[in-house]
Amino acid sequence: MSATLNTLETLRKETAKILNVESVEADVGLGELGIDSLNVVELIVFCEQLYGSIDPEQLNITQYTTLQQLDAQLQEQQQTA
């Protein structure tokens, strides 16, 4: 379980960096955080570094997707890879 917390925390920090803010909540939708389509591309590139090989086509990312949900999707991809 600690690996999940570590990736989620790292994802939160990187998202805050992308948005140039101090911190972001893991349970708030990406749209509400201020993530736009260019930010999503940045985020996916970072996720490939953080989680290893991922399939962006398999991710369900909408403006309502939270970082927690994104982390869970990426964790699941790692386990099935």
Residue-range domain boundaries for the chain: 2-80
- CATH assignment of 2-80? 1.10.1200
Q: How far apart are CA 30 and CA 27, in angstroms?
A: 9
Mean pLDDT of the chain: 92
Strands (E), 22-62: none
Confidence band of 72 (pLDDT split at 50, 70, 90)? very high
Q: Which of 3-7, 14-18, 46-50, 77-81 has the lowest mean pLDDT?
A: 3-7
2 — pLDDT class (breaks 50, 70, 90):
low
